[in-house]
Amino acid sequence: MKRVYDFGPLADARDFNGDGDVNQQDVDDFMLVYNLYLGRTNCNWVHGDVNGDNVVNVADYLLFRARSMMTSAVPINLGTAEPYDALTKP
C-alpha cells in the first residue's frame, strides 16, 4: 500500500488513500490501519479515524462502509491529531 503519510490533499472521504481513485484499494487500506489502530486515541484520518473524534472504533468502520457505498464524492474531516500522535500518546 501507499505510505499513509504520503497523503496529498483529499477531496473525497471515499478516497481513503488519497490517490484520486475510489476503489477496492481504499477499503483494503482503511481496514489495514483500522485493525492496527482500533481502540486507540489521539488518532486522525490516516489511522482510520474517519469521523474525526480522535479515537478509532467501530463507528469509523460503519461510517467508512456507509460512505464507500455513496455514488458521489463525500466531504471529509481530517481530524486534529498529528499523524504520529497515535504512536506517541496514550
Q: How far apart are CA 90 and CA 68, in angstroms?
A: 30
Residue number, 26 or 67, with CB nearest to Ca ion: 26
CB of 88 to Ca ion, least distance (A): 18
Residue number, 6 or 84, with CB nearest to Ca ion: 6
DSSP 49-73: -TTSSS--SHHHHHHHHHHHT-SS-
We find the least distance from the C-beta atom of residue 79 to Ca ion, in angstroms, to be 8
Rounded to a whole number, what is the distance in angstroms from the first to the last CA of the chain?
Answer: 26
Residues that bind Ca ion (CB under 5 A): 15, 17, 19, 21, 26, 49, 51, 53, 60
Cβ at position 52, least distance to Ca ion in Å: 7
